[in-house]
Structures are given as structure tokens and as C-alpha cells.
Structure 1
Amino acid sequence: MKTKIFYFTGTGNSLSVARDISNELGGAELVSIPAVVDGHIETDDSDIGIVFPVYMWGIPNMVVDFVQKLKISSDQYVFAVTTCAGQPGETLVQLQKMLQKKGTDLHAGFAVRETANTIQEDNIFIKIAMLIERNSKITKSGKERLSEMVEVITNKKEHEPETSSVMLNKFGNFVYGMGMSRINTMGKFWADEKCSMCLNCQRICPSNNIEVVNDKPHWTQNCEFCQACIQWCPKEAIHIKNEDPKRRYHNPEIKVKDIMIR
């Protein structure tokens, strides 16, 4: 069995999960989605994994682009793991439908709980979702489910895409449809006087959205809203409206150099 795992990550949660699965599978190849999304994407590996975070109860734009470009055959086994702080909505069902249009399927889909990486205070949509799913959040992390996922993948078992309640799925689909079309312009970040111009933010940005203007980082309108720039800033010099300084976070098992692999 030869396995390749494609991953998209901002603060390291999805990379950490992908790395753990790779290690348990005996060293499956890890490939950064931002590193390949602009090229020809084809693999002859028998098993293909896709690991990424939930964005607004759906798939990140760059992962959508990746899946649309991916050359894949029906005899390849496809699994996916999505990381979320609450509920996945129909993220994995969305992925399944995309793959079915390409003549294949999502054979196994898992949703695991990881620490939230957004630095902004909970908005009205998050608060409504928390009311809908008050007692039924995804509770197990990637590490807690690692052996379960690897057993399914190793034996190429079918595992229905994990999803949320009907009510939350409808709400999540509404938010995703409304929000993701505007997400490229939502990253209205800025750097304050603490900025040392290390330009880590520019090097880790998956969409090359950061330029240098007047000796300061400047964000254009091609943002994936992955939070990498603000969460990895060593000086905590990057800001966004309605931020909560207590939410500075990046995965403790991942280093900034790992995120720079684009």
C-alpha cells in the first residue's frame, strides 16, 4: 500500500493530524496543498488522504481548488480528516459530492476536535451554532481517534462521512454560502510598531497575500483567512478587528518552519 496525504494548515492542527497518520502508516508521503495547487496534480498512489480544517462549516477555498484540479481514478482509495473546534457541518459531504463528480468517492471521512485557531471573538453565527448543538460537539481529538482512523485506512474500509445534525447542517450551509464568497477580503490584518520585519508572515502565507509596502507588511485581497500570519507572529505585532489576545495559538507540535513548506 502506497499512501500520499495532502494537507492544508494555517496554525498546524491539520498538519499535526496528517503527520500522526503518516507515522502510523509507516511514513506516508506528506504534501502541502499550497505547494501544489497551482500546478498539475496527479498521483499514482493507491491511497490518497486529504486533511484540512473546517472553514465556516465547509471546505477552505484553496482545498476546493485543489480537489477540482486533482486527477484521480475510481480504483484509488480516498480518505479525509477534517479538524474543527466545534462541529464539521456537511464539510465531508461537500467533499464527497465533489469527488463523486470526478467519478470516484470519499471512502472514509472523519471529523476530529482540535483547539480553535481563530483569534477573533465569537460572532453571532458561532453563538447560534453553539445553541443549536449545545450538547453534541465533536469531542475526540485526532490523537484520541488515531488508532481507529488508521485501522480503517489500512484495511481500506468504508466509513461514512461524519456530519452534524440536520438543523446545523442547514444553518452551516447558509453561512458557508454567504461567507466563503467574501473570505478573500475578510483578512483585514495590520502590523503595529512591534513588527520587526522578520517577514515570517509573508513566508508562511499560503496564498502569497502579503506584500511589503513602506517597510511594513501589507495584506492584499487574496486571503484564505487561515490565521497563520497573526498566530505565528513572534512579536504578536499583527492584529485584526475584534481580536481576543487570549486566543493567540498555534499547535505546540508544529514549528513555523514546517508551515513554510509551500
Structure 2
Amino acid sequence: MKTKIFYFTGTGNSLSVARDIVNKLEDAELVSIPAVIDGNIEANAPVIGIVFPVYMWGMPNMVADFVQKLKISSDQYIFAVTTCAGQPGETLVQLQKMLQKKGTELHAGFAVRETANTIQEDNIFIKMAMLIERNSKITKSGKERLSEMVEVITNKRKHEPETSSALLNKFGNFVYGMGMSRINTMGKFWADEKCSMCLNCQKICPSNNIEVMSDKPHWNQNCEFCQACVQWCPKEAVHIKNEDPKRRYHNPEIKVNDIMIR
């Protein structure tokens, strides 16, 4: 195997991008990060990719944990792709620093624009970021940049980690530092009377955070805040505080069974 791409996804955007890249490469494999996070993570391929969404202008907690555990060497080519609805902030720089501490580097880092996957209304931080980034949003999707990314990866070229403006990076780092430390308990999820107990929410949860209590799904305090449970509910029975029902979304190219591969 020449390339192994590890991915983390909630509503399917990052999986869709990772799958597109794999389909363009020779002898490549996709690996779900939640499926291997508790094991011995061997990066046994010459080329390693990491594809994941931007959370609060930084890396999801599980992705950061994965990189910490990843066994990797300096002679492997490493690339990453982040998906975001606005700007990546210093997400890829964060990853670069983590890899440098492991004696290697991020050789290529791309940020691509995909549909927002949160169902919550925009909070004050999102509104402030929108003002800062209003003239500099990332506009190209993973499909629009696919050929470019594949060319760089195939030829093992250097591509500096893509970031946002200095101002947004500073703002994003502040929000990330404040928010991610509390993200496990930020989500106030519940299921209403439409719940059919299909337990899709439990099956797709990357952190096994959902259990059944009193014949209803119950959310514990180990949440990654991927919102897969909300967005993949076939009855739209799962809810979260401050939601906008118009924002129900999951990637149209991905099926719920794809997300269940943990």
C-alpha cells in the first residue's frame, strides 16, 4: 500500500473529500480515526494523509489525540486536508506543530470549503469571525481543488499549511483555547417523541457517548460535538439547544452506513 488516509467525519464532508482523493490515487486505503483511536496506530505506508473538519478554528479533540498516538517516521510524506464552512484559522499550523514534536512535519496542508454541518444558530463568536473574514473566505470546495491536491500528493511536493489572516488566526486561537476545553459538555442533546429507537445516533457516535436509558437515547459527557447524531436522525427527533431547524444537513454523497464504520 502506497497511501493510507485517516479521516474523521460527522456529517460526511471530510469522508467525501477523503474518498475522492483515494479514488484518484494508486493503491490507497481509507481508515476511520474513531475505528483505530483506542488501538495501536501504525502508519505503515510511505504516504500518510489526515482529513478532518475544522472545529472552532482548530483540530477536533479526537484528531489531536490520534496524532499524539500515531506512530510515524520522518521519511514518510504527510499531507492533511481540513474542511470548513468559512476559514481554517491555524488548524493546519496546529497539526504541523504536533508533527514537529514527533520529529517529522506536515509536507502539504490544504483547507477546502464545504457546507456548514452545525445545526445551531450562529453565536457571537461566529458572527464576529464572519465580519473579520467577510472579504477572505475560502471559496473552493474539495472537488474543485481535487486535481490540484492529487498532483501535489502524487509528486510529494511541499505545500505550506493554509491559514487565515493574522487577525482571524489570533481570534480563532482564542476561541479554540476557550471552547475546546469545554466541548465535551457543551452539547445539550435530547430526543423527542418522534424517536423510533433505531439507535442510529448511538451507532454513529465516534466517541461512544450515547447510551439507552428509560427507552430513550441519553448523552453522556464525552462528546466530540460532531453533531452526527442530530444530522443523521431519520426522524429528525434529535435536538440540541439553540438549533436552527433549517440547518439539517448531511453530505449527499455519503450514506449513514458509511458513518457507522468505526
User: Could you tell me the TM-score, scaled by structure 2's length?
Assistant: 0.99
Matched, 1:221 2:207: no
Q: What is aligned with 2:142?
A: 142
Q: What is aligned with 2:161?
A: 161
State the alpha-carbon separation in 2 of the partners of residues 133 and 97 from structure 1. 24
Q: Can you list the C-alpha shifts for 1:7-33, whole angstroms capped at 9, x where unaligned?
A: 000000000000000000035100000
User: Could you tell me the TM-score, scaled by structure 1's length?
Assistant: 0.99
State the alpha-carbon separation in 2 of the partners of residues 66 and 8 from structure 1. 10
Q: CA deviation at 1:95?
A: 0.1
Q: What is aligned with 1:81?
A: 81
Q: What is aligned with 2:133?
A: 133
CA contact under 8 A between 2:2 and 2:27: conserved in structure 1? Answer: no
Letter in 1 for 2:41: I
CA contact under 8 A between 2:79 and 2:106: conserved in structure 1? Answer: yes
Q: Percent sequence identity over matched residues?
A: 90
Letter in 2 for 1:32: S
State the alpha-carbon separation in 1 of the partners of residues 22 and 111 from structure 2. 17
- 1:68/1:199 Cα in 2 relative to 1: closer, same or farther (>3 Å)? same
Q: What is aligned with 2:25?
A: 25
Q: CA deviation at 1:188?
A: 1.1
CA contact under 8 A between 2:187 and 2:241: conserved in structure 1? Answer: no
State the alpha-carbon separation in 2 of the partners of residues 258 and 119 from structure 1. 21
State the alpha-carbon separation in 2 of the partners of residues 23 and 66 from structure 1. 24
State the alpha-carbon separation in 1 of the partners of residues 229 and 257 from structure 2. 13
Letter in 2 for 1:135: N
Letter in 2 for 1:6: F
State the alpha-carbon separation in 1 of the partners of residues 28 and 188 from structure 2. 37
Q: What is aligned with 2:114?
A: 114
Task: Give unmatched runs, 5+ long, in structure 1.
Answer: none
Q: CA deviation at 1:44?
A: 2.0
Q: CA deviation at 1:220?
A: 0.3
CA contact under 8 A between 2:87 and 2:164: conserved in structure 1? Answer: yes
Secondary structure (helix, strand or coil) at the match of 2:49 reads: strand
State the alpha-carbon separation in 1 of the partners of residues 70 and 179 from structure 2. 25
Letter in 2 for 1:85: A
Matched, 1:199 2:203: no
Q: Can you list the C-alpha shifts for 1:172-216, whole angstroms capped at 9, x where unaligned?
A: 000000000000001210000000000000000000000100000
State the alpha-carbon separation in 2 of the partners of residues 114 and 98 from structure 1. 25
State the alpha-carbon separation in 2 of the partners of residues 251 and 44 from structure 1. 30
Q: How does 1:1-262 map to 2 (within 5 A)?
A: 2-262=2-262
Task: Give unmatched runs, 5+ long, in structure 2.
Answer: none
State the alpha-carbon separation in 2 of the partners of residues 68 and 106 from structure 1. 14
Runs of 4+ in 1 over 2 A off after TM superposition: none
Backbone CA RMSD of aligned residues: 0.7
CA contact under 8 A between 2:17 and 2:143: conserved in structure 1? Answer: yes
Instruction: Report the number of matched residues.
Output: 262
State the alpha-carbon separation in 2 of the partners of residues 42 and 238 from structure 1. 36
Letter in 2 for 1:155: N
